[in-house]
Amino acid sequence: MGYITQPYQLLICLQLFLFYSQCSAILCSHDQSSALLQFKQLFSFQISRPKMMSWKEDADCCSWDGVTCDSATGHVIGLDLSCSWLHGNIPSNSSLSLLPRLRKLNLAYNDFNYSKISSGFTDQFPSLTLLNLSWSNFAGSIPPSLSNNITQLADLDLSYNSFTGQIPSSFSNLQQLRHLDLRGNNFVGEIPASLGNNITQLAYLDLSYNSFSGHIPSSFSNLQQLRHLDLWGNNFVGQIPASLGNNITQLAYLDLSSNSFSGQIPSSFSNLQQLRHLDLRGNSFFGKIPDMFTNLTQLSFLGLAYNELIGSIPSSIFDLLNLTLFSLSFNNFSGSVELYDFAKFKNLKVLALSNISLSVSTKLTVNSSFPNLSDLDLSACNISEFPDILRTQHQLEWLDLSKNQIRGSLPDLPPHMVRLSISNNSLTGEIPSSFCNLSSIRYIGLSNNSLSGQIPQCLGNSTLETLDLGMNNFQGTIPQTYAKGCNLTSLRLNGNQLEGPLPPSLINCVNLQFLDVGNNNLSGPIPEYLRNSTRLLFLNVRNNSLSGPIPEYLGNSTLEILDMRMNKFSGSLPQTFAKSCVLVSLNLNGNRLEGPLPPSLVNCRHLEVIDVGNNQINETFPHWLDVLPELQVLTLRSNRFRGPIGDTKTRVPFRKLRIIDLSYNRFTGVLPIWYLNGFKAMMHGDDNSIKVNYMRSANYSYYESISLTMKGNDIQMERILTTFATIDLSSNRFQGEISKVLGKLKSLKSLNMSHNNLTGGIPSSLRNLTALESLDLSSNKLAGRIPTQLASLNCLEVLNLSNNQLKGPIPGGPQFNTFGIDSYSGNSGLCGFPLSKSCSIDEASEPTTPTGFIEGDDASSWFDWKLAMLGYASGVVIGLSIGYMAFVTGRPQWFVRMIERKQSRKLTRVIRRGRAGRRSFLVHL
């Protein structure tokens, strides 16, 4: 017996009326229709023909779209306004309260503009059995009173809104509830245990994609009708109660993925004979997979990836003949597995075995195939040859063989391939021309191999979205022809030997976001057409022979990373950076640019790196950059910058700066104390956080890198530790004294002020630079003694004080004793080890520093010594140093020496003997 919702039903009813005289002529009372019309007034409509357009005053409301009446009484019992394009707020006391017989209320897929559900909302509808408010932009918490009067409610759907807060424990009043869907909100807190005690009819429970926490209540084992349980994407912890498997034997769908569940997978799951979908991925389950699958014959989806499972794959898994998805990736299994064992699963579509520590044999031993396999992930499986499967699996669409040791040349691929990744292998030879026949291909990743020859031109005019051929030996040109409607978003050809210009028809790829052609031999200009690539985020052309000007439009672009270093660009920089600028990294090092630096660069508030070193910029110090709140690296090295640094009005100038390189310019005047004082980022000297983080762009696998001089060598630092700090002011014309303020910059690793005209003494406050590994003050006019406190700088690897006017004894100590005479040459007044000139009694008894340079309490230095020595035994120092030096290309000699020295130091105990002379003896054990 249906309700009257459509005109034709009315017609049927009228016919029935003729026979049975049962239908009343006017079903809808005036009260009801005016209540509905009032409700209609609350909303504006976003399209012209929503359901409510059929609601007219003169018509029977039972005939309106979305309205259902009881055919006997004429009461409105159902209101379905889903997808009605309603837009507006629902007030706490709406006219809907005049429809107290409402049983079903569906307001899904509208926009209620973050309305809250008022506490009396459901009081109005005591007969409600269905309430659907999903996808409708509701917000706020669920009032506990929601469940008071609606004890008949069987179906509650609040999914995909912005609800917050906890599930009220009063929900346990809803004893008729069968279907509860709260997914996609911001709910928090634990699941009330009473839910499991009282709502025993529950068949469908979806709490996924919220922020729920705590355990699965053991009361859940009462939910014996439960068929669907989805807790995906919350913060649940703890073990899965074994009773779940014992009692909820109807369960067909169980998704616990992306939580923090731990413990073993309960073997009681073997009772869940209806189970079709079991997803435990992304938790911390450990131990072996129980051999429990014999009776789970319905299982079609089995996700175990991203856990800590060990042992071998239980044999009963191979009974699961209905499996369509099997994902084991990222676990710690042992033993070996035969790829073709999985060929038993004739319905298998997706097989993911990457990073499972199993040796996967891919030899075709039996004449078996995977008739339905479309997605195969064998990355990091220790495979050394292409699996034979490629020859037989014509339906394969996704294939990941990356991070293996596959040698030899690329085979022809199944023609319907959509996504192919074979990066990080040892492939050689050319890309076969059969790649031109891949009619559905969207992703090709072949980076980090040894492929060579030309890149097939057809790959430009293709269906590709990503082409990543970086780090190979490709020659010839970049594919030149890109068809109209080109869908390429990412083109990565970096690290090859490509020549010629950037292709003009790339203009057709309007969705291009990543263009990485760095480290090739490209020539010609940056084409004007990139102006049209309004989605470009990442442009890396570094280390080519590109020339011409830097296009002005790059200042008004969507770029976040712009790396044009080491080319032949000339002329000025773009002069106008727009207010909307989102640049994070600007690297123009090593070109022929003349500047000036545009003051509008300060519009780029997110800038972290500015590197314009090694150009011909003839300008004064760009002090206006000091307001950039995120700037961490500023390199002006080797230009024609000139004049004094000048003062600043910024309260905390350069607040995040960690790396500043002004070397090889013509700066004059005194050292910029006011700036040094402002370098807050360099003052947090706590390097004991072993966490090794590099500056990188989270969105792209792009690590910031710079070239700088450290420890007397020009080095290219391929990755920059987020704790790395250095100041290089060398080879300028700075004058005056070295301020003791420098001692505050505790996280400094390298300080270079050589080749200036500095006078006065070396401040003993430098001993606070406990992270310092390189100190170069050479070729100045520094006078007085070397402060003995510097001997406590136990990280110091390189010291250069040569060519000054220093005098008196050279401090001794484990670190100082490793420096050779080069560190001190050209100071005629110095004496003691390692110089051949020994100190006279007079020299030894003079004050350690010239008057005015004694800072800190000398009595504390004994304590410093002990601390410094404690550091030797721990691996902290070496760990950190290797951390940031490991990516330095071409290890210079001092690096090797440093590592050797640090290693021998680990075996060194320091024994202090007597107070006199404060000498220590190194004993190698």
Q: How far is the CB of 139 from ligand NAG (least distance, A)?
A: 23
* 372 vs 351: CA distance, rounded Å: 11
Q: How far is the CB of 680 from ligand NAG (least distance, A)?
A: 49
Q: How many CA atoms lie within 13 A of 508 on its CB side?
A: 17
Cβ closest to ligand NAG, residue 465 vs residue 687:
465
CA 64: distance to chain centroid? Answer: 51
Nearest distance, CB of residue 263 and ligand NAG, angstroms: 18
List CB contacts of 697: < 8 A, sequence separation 6 or more: 538, 560, 561, 584, 585, 704
Supply the minimum distance, in Å, between the C-beta of residue 611 and ligand NAG.
37
State in angstroms the smallest separation of the CB of 275 from ligand NAG: 11
**Tokens 């409708």 label which residue?**
136
The least CB distance from residue 168 to ligand NAG, in Å, is: 11
Query: How far is residue 550's CA from residue 574's CA, in Å, rounded to a whole number?
Result: 7
Binding residues (CB under 6 A) for ligand NAG: these are 123, 126, 145, 148-149, 172-173, 194, 197-198, 221-222, 243, 246-247, 270, 294-295, 297-298, 321-322, 461, 463, 481, 483, 485-487
Q: Residue 141 CB, nearest distance to ligand NAG (Å)? A: 17
Length of the chain: 925
CB 224, min distance to ligand NAG, A: 7
Q: State the CB neighbour count (10 A cutoff) for residue 691.
A: 9
Q: For residue 472, what are its two tokens?
A: 């190979």
Q: Which two tokens stand for residue 640?
A: 């024609």
Q: Which is nearer to ligand NAG, 438 or 745 (CB)?
A: 438
CB 143, min distance to ligand NAG, A:
10
397 CB-near residues (< 8 Å, 6+ apart)? 374, 375, 414, 416, 417, 418, 419, 440
Cα–Cα dist 754/775, whole Å: 9
Give the three-state DSSP class for 561: strand
Looking at the Cβ atoms of 196 and 672, the one nearer to ligand NAG is: 196
Q: Which is nearer to ligand NAG, 126 or 596 (CB)?
A: 126
Q: Are 544 and 567 in contact (CB under 8 A)?
A: yes
For the chain, the straight-line distance linking the first and the last C-alpha, in angstroms and rounded, comes to 95
What does the DSSP assignment read for 126-139?
Answer: TT--EEE-TTS-EE
4 bridge partner residues: 69
Q: What's the rounded Cα separation, in Å, for the pair 498 and 507?
A: 20
Count of beta carbons in the 10 Å neighbourhood of residue 114? 12
CB nearer to ligand NAG: pick between 460 and 832:
460
Shortest Å, Cβ 413 to ligand NAG: 17
Question: 100 or 429, CB closer to ligand NAG?
Answer: 100
Q: What is the closest distance, in whole angstroms, from the C-beta atom of residue 322 to ligand NAG in the complex? A: 4
CA 495 – CA 470 distance, rounded (Å): 6
Asked if 545 contacts 567 with a C-beta cutoff of 8 angstroms, the reply is: yes
| Cα separation, 256 vs 212, whole angstroms | 12
3-state secondary structure 256-319: CCCCEEEECCCHHHHHCCCCCEEECCCCEEEEECCCCCCCCCCCCEEECCCCEEEECCCHHHHH
Nearer to ligand NAG, 149 or 262 (CB): 149
- Closest approach, Cβ 438 to ligand NAG, in A, equals 11
Residue with smaller CB distance to ligand NAG, 487 or 713: 487
Of 766, 764, 730, nearest to 748 by C-alpha is 766
- Rounded Cα distance between 299 and 317, Å, is 10
- Minimum CB–partner distance for residue 376 and ligand NAG (Å): 22
Closer to ligand NAG by CB, 168 or 826: give it.
168
CB of 243 to ligand NAG, least distance (A): 5
Q: What single-letter DSSP state applies at residue 656? A: T
Q: For residue 68, which phi and psi values (nearest 5 degrees)? A: -120, 135
Residue with tokens 């100045």: 780
Q: Which is nearer to ligand NAG, 202 or 676 (CB)?
A: 202
Q: Give yes or no for a contact between 493 and 474, defined as CB atoms under 8 angstroms apart.
A: yes
Angle at 52 between CA 49 and CA 54, to 5 degrees: 80
Tell me the sheet residues that pair with 806: 784
- Indicate the DSSP class of residue 348: -
3-state class (DSSP) for residue 872: helix
Shortest separation between residue 248's beta carbon and ligand NAG, angstroms:
9
Q: Give the nearest distance from C-beta 487 to ligand NAG in angstroms.
A: 4
**Residue 323: C-alpha distances to residues 336, 348, 393 (Å):** 21, 6, 18
Instruction: Indicate the residue among 273 and 759 with the shorter CB distance to ligand NAG.
Output: 273
Structural contact between residues 756 and 735, judged by C-beta atoms closer than 8 angstroms: yes
Structure tokens at 16: 């029935």
User: Which residue, 128 or 502, is less far from ligand NAG as judged by CB?
Assistant: 128
Nearest residue (CB) to ligand NAG, 487 versus 570: 487
**Least distance in angstroms from the C-beta of 511 to ligand NAG:** 9
Kindly state the tokens that stand for 72: 């006997």
In three-state secondary structure terms, 381 is: coil
For ligand NAG, the closer of residues 125 and 398 by Cβ is 125
SS3 string, 505-556, reads HHHHCCCCCEEECCCCEEEECCCHHHHHCCCCCEEECCCCEEEECCCHHHHH
Q: Which residues contact 247 (CB under 8 A, 6 or more apart)?
A: 221, 222, 223, 224
Min dist. Cβ of residue 264 to ligand NAG (A):
17
Pick 417 or 566: Cβ nearer ligand NAG: 417
Q: How far is CA 187 from CA 145, 162, 168, 210, 651, in A?
A: 17, 9, 11, 5, 42
